Amino acid sequence: MGRLNNMWEPNTFSGIMSVVSMDDKGRVTLPAEMRSKVDAKKFVAYLEGNTVRLIPLPDPSKIKGSVKIPWSIEELEEGGESLVLKRT
């Protein structure tokens, strides 16, 4: 019970807080106010003790082109083919 009491100490949380429910299938609906501030449809659910944290994952289509790699598509394909041949 000590952990629960510590959880409600002042300044433990910052930002938006809301009570949500989980349905029989394990689904939790985030309030609209939270959804509007988090630009994500997928999350990593991380269990830490008895606390669940949701970490938003970026939409891959929105970050396309933001990472520059020093190889051409052809070089990547050749490297992949070489790796497959080594495994067989």
Cβ atoms 53, 43 nearer than 8 A: no
Residue 80: pLDDT band (50, 70, 90) is: confident
The first and second tokens of residue 26, run together, are 């394990």
Measured distance CA(73)–CA(31) in Å, rounded: 42
Mean pLDDT of the chain: 81
Beta bridge partners of 47: 52
Output the pTM of the full model. 0.53
Q: Is the pLDDT of residue 5 over 80?
A: no
The kind and range of the H/E element at 43 are strand 42-48
Of 9-13, 31-35, 36-40, 53-57, give the lowest mean pLDDT range: 9-13
The kind and range of the H/E element at 52 are strand 51-57
